[in-house]
Structure 1
Amino acid sequence: MSDAANGTGMPAVLSKDQFTYDILFVADARFDGGSSTAMAVEIKAAARAGLRLALMLVKGPLLRAPFPVHPELSAAMRGGLIDRVDPESEINAQLTLIHHPTIMENRPTSKINVSSKRAVLVLHHPVYDNAGKKQYDLNRVLRNIHDAFNLEIEIAPVSSVVRKSLPNDILRRKVIIAEDWVNLIEIDEWPRRSDRPISTPAIIGRHSRPDKLKWPDTLKVAKLVYPEDKLRFRVRILGAGDYLREHYGEIPPEWELLTFNFKGVSNFLQSLDFYVYFHSSTWSEAYGRTILEALTTGLVVILPPNFEEVFGDAAVYCDPENVVPLIDQYVDDPEGYREQSERARSYARTVCSADNYATRLERLGLELRSTKSETKPATISVPPPLPTKNVLFVSSNGIGIGHITQQLAISKFLPEDIRPTFATMSYAVNIVAEAGYLVHFIPHHKHMDANPDDWNRVIAEELFDLISHLRPSVFAYDATAVFGGVSSALKHFPNLFSIWVRRPMWREFHRPFLQAANIFDAIIEPGELAAEFDNGPTSEVRDFVYRVPPVLQIEPSERIARERARDILDLPNDLTVVALQLGSGVNFDLSSVRSAVLEALLKRNDTFVLDIVSPLANDEQNELDNHDRYRRVSLFPSFKFSRAFDAAVCVAGYNTFHEQILGMIPTLFIPNEAEEMDVQLTRIKWAELTGKALLLRRDFDLHRTHEIIGQLLDKRRQETMVQSCKSIRWRNGAKDIAQYIEDHSRILRTDWDITKLVY
C-alpha cells in the first residue's frame, strides 16, 4: 500500500494551489513523558532535512490536569522549526503522523479539514498491559481517525512489546509498518559519562515521570533494586514527589529525592554509575525513553528481563534480588564496565540516532527536500496566516483593581492574532478601555441592591449573549468567587475552553468556592512569593492546577528611569520621596493608619509624600492638599514610575506586594484584614521574616508608627531590604498564562465524548 486510501478507496488528491506541508504532526503536546520528547527529536531531524512541518495540538482524554505544552515542543514552534496550525483551517500534507492512540479514543468535537496522501498512527503504548487489561480500544481509535481524516491508517508500533499486543483482527485487516518506530535521540545532546572509576559508594539512579506504575509494586522490592546500604550505595531519584510516599507509606531516608527538571536530565545521568529501572508488575513499558537516555550516556543499565527483547545487549537484565550482586560484579570488573558502556552507546548510535529519521521517512515514500525534482510544479513557499481567535476575559469586582490588572498583564503578551475582549464587574473598567480593548461592564449585585438569584440569571444571559456573539476560543475567568451565572453560561458551551485564574492565599472563608473547579477545563494559579507560608484551602489542591511564577503587568526593567520619573511627576530631587498607596479602603478602614503614617512622615523635614489614590477612591478634598511636601495623585499603573520613590507604605494586595518586592523598593506593608480578602498578613510576615519588608497592623501596631517609619527610612535598613529582594529569581508568569491561552485557543478537543452530548 504505497498511498493510503481515502474513504472512497482512491488516493487522496492534494490541491496544487494551496500550501502543502511535508509532514503534519497530530499530537497531545502536553504529555510530559517520552512520547513528547521523542516527537521533538523527530521534528528537529525533519527540519534539518529541509521539510515543511506543521503541528496540530490535541487535548486528549488521558491528561486531566492542566498541563502546558511540553517545553521542547513549545520551543520548536516558537523557534520556527514547525508551524502551529489551526484545526479550523484547511491543511494539506504529504504525510500525517498521529502520535499516541489515546488522543483519538473520542471523536474530535469539531470538524477538521486535512487532505493528506498518507497517514500513520504511531503507537506509543501497548493495547494490553502486563496484567492483560485493555489500555484502549484500538478499533475505536482507528474508526475515529478514519472519520476525522477521511483516510485509512497505517500502524507504526514503537517496539516489539507494542507490536505483540496488537489484536489478531487488527493484524489481519490493517497495514502494520514492518520496522518498529523506535524512539530517536540527538546523540550529541547526551554526552558520554566520563571514564572515571566507579564511585565509592557506587551511585545508582533512575528518572521517570511521577507515576506509581513506574515503580515496583512494594517497598520491599524497591529496596532490593535501590538498596539502603549507604556505605556501599548512594541512590539518586529524579522525578520524586508526594506520589512516592503515598505509594509506599515511607521513603528510605538514604534515597536522594529530586523533583523532575526537563533541562537537568543529562547532568543527572552524568553523575551516576548505574541506571536501574524497575516498574510495576502490571505496567507494560512500550519502549522506555528514559532508558534510551541512560544508554546514550554510556551508563551500565540494569533492567528486568522483559526489556531484553527491546534493548538486546545494550543493557543487562536480572530479577530484583540480583541487582546488588550484578552491581558488585561490575564494580569489581572495570574493563567489563567499559565494554558494557560501549555496547550501550553503540546501540544508541546505530539504532536510535536522529540521523536515521531521514531514512525512515524515505522508506515511507516521503521525498526529502534535497532530492525533489526541480521540474515538479512550484508550491507556495509561505503558509497562510492563522485565523484570528477571540479570548473573553471575565473578572469580578473585588475592592481594588487586581483582577483587571492581572488580565491586562496577560493580554500584553498575547500574539496579534489572539484578540482579547473584556467583561468586568469592576468600576475601574475605564483602565481597560484606555488600554485599547473592547470592554463590557457588568455591575455587581451589591452595587445595585439586587437579589443575587435574579442577578445571576441576568449574568448568565449577558455572558451567553457575549459568547454567542464573540465566539471566543478561550474563556478566561479571574476571581476568587465563581458566581452561579458564570457556571450557568458555560454549561451551554461545552467546547469552549475555559480557564479559572485563581490566586492563592485563600482564607477558610473561601473554601466553598473550591467546588467550582469542575466547571473549568483548567485552573491556573499565579505564583506567590510567600507560597511557603500559604496553608489555605488552595494549598491542598495544588497538584491539580497549573502553577506559574508571580504575575506583573509592568516588569521591573520596564520602569521609567529615576530622574525621568521624578521630572514627569514633578518630584523634588533633594527630598526623600515616599509613596503612600493604601487602596480604596472600601471594606477595611485604614483612615487611622493613613493619619498616623502621614504624621510620622511629614514630621521629618527631608521627606516628601506622594499619596497615590486608587482609581476606585472618591476624589475628596484633603486637609493636606496645600502642604508643600505632600501631593495626592491618581496614577495607573503607578509601578511604572516607582524608580522615583525611595520608599513606600502600601497595602499588601497581590499585585502591589509583588511589584514592591520584585521592584526592590523598601516598603512598609499594611494588611487589609477584612474577612473576604486574601491573607495579606501571611505574605507580609514572610517578607518581614526574610528581611524584605516591614509590617504594620492597624489594630496592633498603630502606637509604633513613628518607630516603624524610622526603620523604613533608615539607610542601612533600606539597603538590607533591597539586597534581600535582589536575591529573588523571577520571570513573569503573565507570559506563561498568555502562552497557555495561545496554545489552547488553537487546540483540537477529543477530551470529552461528543456522542454523549445532550441538546
Structure 2
Amino acid sequence: MVALEKGSLRIAETVVHFEVKQQKRAVVNAKRLIRMTKTTFELSGALQISCDILVVADVARKSDTGLRIRREIECYHEMGYRVAIRHVKNGKSLGAASPDIQHCVNLGLAEIVVSDAAVDANVVLVFSPTQIDRQFAGFENLTARRVILIVDSLPDYADLSTWSLHEKGIDEIVLAPTNRWVREAVVKQNLPLRMEAEDWRSVASAVDPLGKRELPDRRLVVGRFSAPGESQWPTKKKLFETYGFRNEVEFLFVGYPPDHLRAAVSQRKSWTGLKFDTISGERFVDLVDAIAYFPSARAPELPEAVIAAAMASGKPVFLPPRFKPHFGPGAIYCSADVLKAEIRNWFADTDALKAFCQEAKRQAGFQFSKEVLSGRIQRLAGPPSKVVSRARTRHPKKPRVLFVPSNGVGLGHVTRLLAIARRMDAKVEPVFATLAQAAPIIEASGYAAEYIPSQSDTGEAYQTWDKWFGYQLRELVERYQVSAVVFDGNHPSDGLIQAVGARVGCKLVWVRRGMLGKKVTPFIDNTRFMNLIIEPSEAARERQNGVLASRRAEVLEVPPITLLDSSEALPRHEARDELGLNQEKAAVLVQLGAGANRDVLGLADKVVKELSKLEALQIVVAEWENGLVRMPVWPGARVLRGFPISRFLNAFDFSVSAAGYNTYHEVLRFALPTIFLANRNPQMDDQWSRAEFAQDKQAGFNLAEDELFQLPALCEALTNEAVRRVIRKNCLDLIDENGAAAAAKAISQLMRVS
C-alpha cells in the first residue's frame, strides 16, 4: 500500500490511489443535485392483495399520527394479522413518510399497496379522514367487511359526508372519534353511519431508550409535539408566558408555530424546532424530560400518541385542566401562567416526581390499553386469516454501523474511524460514508465506502450544502439499514442530526477530539442529540483548554486512538528492506501534513535543505494520499506515498513532523523521537500545545517554523543513540494502550451487540 520513489525509480508499487476523474465527477454531480433535491415520498407495491387490515392514511402527515399508526400496526402484527398500508396524499403533504411508519415497513410488519391496487380486506382503518381526499383512497378497487373512519380533528359536514357514501364492495362504514370533543362535533353532523361507543384511543407503549450519558449539570428539556396550525398554538402573549423558560430549561418542539409567531420563536436561543420527517415520535419522547402541551382553546386534535408514550415511559406530562377528562390522573394539570413554576417545583422534589411518574405509567396502561384495542379489532375484523404476508423485513444479517468521517485537512477523521471499525465486534458490519476523498483507502481496508462531496468540495453555501448532505446521508442510512451512525468531525451539523433522527432506533455517536483550541463549532448544542460522545484522550490532556475542556462530563474518554497497535508495525529490518533503505545509515521521516492550509511544499523544501547538511542521513518525505500538492523529488531524498505510513515508522531513527492528533500519537506510540513543526493555522487544532508538552516531558522537540536554522543541531543530537533512548522511553511513558478497542466496545454496547 506504500510507494517509495528515488528519482524516477519506483521501489514499491502503490496499491491505493485516487481516481481523480471519478472524484471530480462526483463533486460536479453533487452541485447539480444540491439545486435539484426535494424530499418527496413515493410508493410502489403490489397491484393485488388480500389482507386482514388495510391502513389508509397520509403517511407524510405532519402530526403524531405516524406514531399512533405504528403502535397499532405493532399490536396487529403481534396478534397475527396481515397488515397493508395505502398512502393517500392530501395535496399539501409533500415530504418523506413518517419515520415511525417507515419503521413498520422496514421491519416487515406491514406491506405497501399502491392507490390503484385491488384490495380485499376484512377491515379498513382510515386515519384522519378529514385531512385526505376520498377520491384518491382507491375505494373503487376495494372489497371490505368494514371501513372505520378514525376521526381525530373537528370535521364539518363536507369533510365527512363524502366518506359516508357506500361503495359496492364495502359492507359497513363506521365512525370512530378519538376524543370527546371530536365526538361531539361528529354527532352534530347527523351522518347516517354507526359510531363506535368508545373513543378510538392510542396505544401507550414505553419508548425504547436509545442510551444517553446522564450529566449532573445538564439543562432540563421540555418538549412539545403537535400538528401545525394556529389552533395548536397560544397567542403571542400567551406563548412566552407559557413557554418562556429561563436558560436552565431547553424547549424542544415539533410542529412549527403559525407564520406570525415564527420570527419571535426563532429569536429564542434555548428553543429548538424540528421537522416532522426528521425525528420519530419515539426518539422525541426519549430526548425530553417532560411534555408540556398548551394549545389555544380551539384545539381539538391532541398529540395523544406522544403524550401516551411519555406517560408510559415515566415522563411527566403537563396539560391544561380541560384535558383531565381525557387523560385522567396520569398527567399534571395547571394553568399556562403557572406552568414554569409547576415544572420547577416538581423537578425540585425528585421523590414526589418519581412516585407520580410510576403512577402515570400505571394510568397509561389503563387509559391507552393495548388489550382494549386488541379486543376491538377482533370484534371488527374477526380472527386473523391464514394468508401469508408478502411484507419483507429489510434488516441486514448483521447490525450495521455507518462511519461518517468529515473532510478534514488530512486523513485524521478517516484514520480514527478506520481504527475503531477494524476493532468492532465480529457481529457488526462497518460501512463508511466519507466526506473526504478517501473512498479508495477505505475500500482497500476492506469496507464498503460511499463518497458524499463535502461543502468545501462543492463550493456551495454551508446551509444549502447541509440540507443536501442530510438528504444524502438519510438515503444511505435507510439503504444500509444501519443501527448506529458514528461521526468523526468538528461540526455535527443539523443535516447529520436530522438524517439519523429520522430512523427509528438508530443511535448517533460523535467522536470528537478535545484539543480544538479556541475554535467553537456553531453546532455544539447538537450534543443533546448524541447517544454517545467519545473523546479520544490526548497525551497532552493537561494542556487542553477552550470550550470543550469544560464539557468533559458529557463524554466517554478513551485512551489515545491510533490506527495500528505497536505490535502491528514492521520490525526495523523488514521495514527498511521494504522501503529500500540502507540498514546501517540513519534515516529521518519528514511528515508535515496534507497542505490544505499550510505551505507544505515550501516548508518541506526548507526542511530537506537543512537535513541535507547532515552527512549520510537518509531523508524520506511523506506525501499524504489526499494531499493538495505532489512532492518533488529532492536530490538525495525520497518521497513516500501511501497509507498507512505508520506501518513503517520503525524504519526511521527520528522524524520531523506536524503535531496533528494522529501523527503526534503515532510517533509517541512507536517511540519515534520527533522534532515537531506544529501547524498553527487558526483552522487547526492546538498542535502547538501538543508539541510544547512533548518538549517539556523530554519526549520530543518543539520548533517554530521561523527557527528552522536550529534544525541541524537538533538532528545532530538525535543521531546520538543515547539521546534517542531517553526520548523513546519518555514517549512510551506518555501514551496508554490504544483506545480504539475501548471505543469499538462502547459502540457495540450502545448497539446492544456485546
Task: Provide TM-score, normalisation by structure 1.
Answer: 0.48
